[in-house]
Structure 1
Amino acid sequence: MFATKYRVAGITALAIAASVSLAGCTINMPGSTSDSNGMMDGGMMGNNQNSSGFSGSDIMFAQMMIPHHQQAVDMSTLAETHTTNPELLALAKQIKDAQAPEIEQMTGWINNANASMDMGHDMGMGGMLSDSDMAALAAANGPAFDKLYLEGMIGHHEGALDMAQMVIDSNNAEAKTLGENIVKSQTAEIAQMKKMLAGM
């Protein structure tokens, strides 16, 4: 199942990503310069906040979660034409309605911090479907689609729960709240999807 195959090492990998790879999401403010400690004058890394109010970890979370959310939106868009299952269609709409606005919200963080949208790697992006998995989902219809969608989205959501740990303790209230909302909503959706899958 996708849930097993594509889930990464979770919180440990995220801790490594935050400590070792933050150079990929350094917040570059206009006129900033690096000092001998690798810190930016006008743009901070790690948990230090810059004038945008978002730390390097907050921005790194957004850089990873935006493409992660986008894939969930893409999967749910496929559901609109590949299944007639009313419960799955309602679930797919719920996922799109929640995650599309969150993509816009996190894009705003990145723009406000004058950071890059591309962090340069995908470490910690657990549960992402491969291109071949997405192709298989797009080629399926009816009950076969439903099974692939549920298996894939369960793993996808589980990856998001791990990623959300990056901002659960954020000093930024908006980042912290988003992380908490992702954990709450996607934990409930995982339970619903597992029930649906068991009933197939």
Structure 2
Amino acid sequence: MTNTRSLIRRAALGGTAVAAALVLAACGSDNGSDTGSDTGSGARTSASAGAEDTAGAHNDQDVSFAQGMIPHHQQAIQMSRMAAGQASSAEVKDLAARIEKAQDPEIGTMSGWLESWGEDVPSSMPGMDHGGGHSDDSGMPGMMDIEDMDELMEASGKGFDTMFLTMMVEHHEGAVEMATTEKDKGRYGPAKELADDIITAQNAEIEEMNKLLGKS
């Protein structure tokens, strides 16, 4: 009889242990599933945020880049338009036409960004209207002051060619500097891409202008 009770007790304990093990296994499975689900959700959220940052997020540097590069481009276009009637070199006229063709659409693109961000769009280059004694206080590298622009406007022939090329090299170097800052510190993907395009195109034009000036 005693042996029979012992067997029954052992069987019961064994059954309890098996049941407990099954419950723990089930809990472990549920927790693992929940953890995996949470991790997946977190990953999806992070991926979505990353996509949003890439697609549309911008920072103060992006705004400064657009607001500075618009008048910078406007001045380059103003200088280039002078070449049509004042330059003597076909190469200078061709270069000036290419500068205007490239930079005018970029002004429209950057203006669109600023409008979409609710930021001010520069209406004109500082001093472009030749009003009142402006000097280059814009803080933008490579910008010509009003006296430089007046001198270029009064020049013609080979004198204009040399002055235009010399000034435009400096102007382009300033634009490359601004674009490099945007690449390093900007956040808005399209603005950083435009900055990269500006660096590539204007460095090539600097090399071309230096050759025309006989410097390389």
User: Is the shorter-chain TM-score for this pair beyond 0.5, marking a shared fold?
Assistant: yes
Where does residue 191 of structure 1 map in the other structure?
Answer: 207
Bigger shift: residues 190-199 or 138-147 = 190-199
Question: What is residue 17 of structure 2 aligned with on the other side?
Answer: none
In structure 1, what is the equivalent of residue 162 of structure 2? Answer: 147
Look up the match of 2:5: none
CA distance in 2 between partners of 1:53 and 1:105 (Å): 16
Q: Deviation of residue 167 (structure 1)?
A: 1.9
The DSSP-based 3-state class of the residue aligned with 2:76 is helix
SS at match of 1:54: coil
Counterpart position of 1:116:
120
Shift of 1:122: 2.5
- Rounded Cα–Cα distance in structure 2 between residues aligned with 1:143 and 1:53: 48
Q: Which runs of 5+ in 1 are unaligned?
A: 1-48
Q: Which moved more, 1:93-102 or 1:164-173?
A: 164-173
**Residue in 2 that maps onto 1:94:** 98
Identify which of 56, 71, 80 aligns with 1:67: 71
Question: Which residue of 146, 149, 158 maps to 1:131?
Answer: 146
Partner of 2:58: 54
C-alpha distance in structure 2 between counterparts of 1:53 and 1:144, whole Å? 47
Instruction: Classify the secondary structure of the residue corresponding to 1:115.
Output: coil
Question: What is the Cα deviation at residue 116 of structure 1?
Answer: 1.5
Amino acid at match of 1:189: E
Give the paired residue count: 148
By how many angstroms is 1:156 displaced? 0.2
Q: Which has the higher contact order (CA 8 A, sep 6+)?
A: 1
- Tell me by how many angstroms 1:145 deviates: 0.2
Runs of 4+, deviation exceeding 3 Å = none
Aligned with residue 173 of structure 1, among 186, 189, 196: 189
Residue 167 of structure 1 aligns to a residue whose secondary structure is helix
d(CA) in 2 for partners of 1:187 and 1:108? 26
TM-score, normalised relative to structure 2: 0.65
C-alpha separation in 2, matches of 1:79 and 1:100: 16
- Distance (Å, rounded) in 2 between the aligned partners of 1:187 and 1:66: 19
Alpha carbons 1:52, 1:112 under 8 Å: kept: no
Q: Which amino acid letter does the alignment assign opposite residue 195 of structure 1? A: K
Higher alpha-carbon Rg: 2
Distance apart, 1:171 and its partner CA: 3.1
| Amino-acid identity (%) | 39
Select the structure that is richer in helix. Answer: 2
- The answer to whether the 8 Å contact 1:58/1:166 transfers is no
CA RMSD of aligned residues (A): 1.9
Helix, strand or coil at the partner of 2:183: coil
**Other structure's SS at 2:181 match:** coil
- For residue 172 of structure 1, report the CA deviation from its aligned partner: 2.0
* CA-to-aligned-CA distance 1:56-89 (integer Å, 9 cap, x gap): 1101111111000000000000001101311111
Residue equivalent to 1:182: 198
Match of residue 7 from structure 2: none
- In 1, are the aligned partners of 2:88 and 2:156 still within 8 Å (CA)? no
> Which of 150, 153, 175 is residue 160 of structure 1 equivalent to?
175
Q: Distance in 1 between matches of 2:101 and 2:118?
A: 27
Write the letter of the residue equivalent to 2:141. Answer: G
Matched-pair contact (CA < 8 Å) for 1:54–1:172: yes
